[in-house]
Amino acid sequence: MRKLNVFFDVDYTLIMWDGKLRNHVEYVFQRLTEGGHTIYIWSGVGIRRWDMRRHNLEGYVTDYFVKPLWGYKDRLGEYNVNVMPDFVIDDHKGVVDDFGGYHIPDVADKDDRHLLNVLEAIEALAAQPPAED
Ligand SMILES: [Mg+2]
């Protein structure tokens, strides 16, 4: 199994418009951590450590970065992102197009299961041999 660097966006990905967490965040963070994957949090509006602490998720997160708002992959160095994302979860499609990952809807109903799909997709990717590039 590959160990992946998993990058989560915050607004409308993990924390919704009402300030509440999307369904299944802690379960998915726990499963990823147990699977040996590394969780990073990034956001276009700054370092979101406090938000993760407020929701008791800080223990799962290895590091925090500011996310470039455009030219994502080309500008990682400029933003001091010293880890290459293997899988990103974001409500902005452009980020997912650049790195690969899961384009998550920016709204969630009460039965939202998207993060469970995310977990499944990450586990499937981790089970594959590394891509040649
Ligand atoms: Mg967002």
Query: Residue 100 Cα, ligand 1 centroid: separation in angstroms?
Result: 16
Query: Residue 131 Cα, ligand 1 centroid: separation in angstroms?
Result: 27
Query: Residue 76 Cα, ligand 1 centroid: separation in angstroms?
Result: 17
Question: What are the pLDDT tens digits along the chain (133 aa)?
Answer: 899 999 999 999 999 999 999 999 999 999 999 999 999 999 999 999 999 999 999 999 999 999 999 989 999 999 999 999 999 999 999 999 999 999 999 999 999 999 999 999 999 999 998 776 6
Query: Residue 112 Cα, ligand 1 centroid: separation in angstroms?
Result: 16
What pLDDT is stored for residue 133 in this prediction? Answer: 62
Domains of the chain from N-terminus onward? 5-126 (3.40.50.1000)
What pLDDT is stored for residue 129 in this prediction? Answer: 83
3-state SS string over the chain? CCCCEEEECCECCCECCCCCECCCHHHHHHHHHHCCCEEEEEECCCCCHHHHHHCCCHHHEEEEEECCCCCCHHHCCCCCCCCCCCEEEECCHHHHHHHCEEECCCCCCCCCCHHHHHHHHHHHHHCCCCCCC
Ion ligand 1 — residues with CB < 5 Å:
9, 11-13, 91
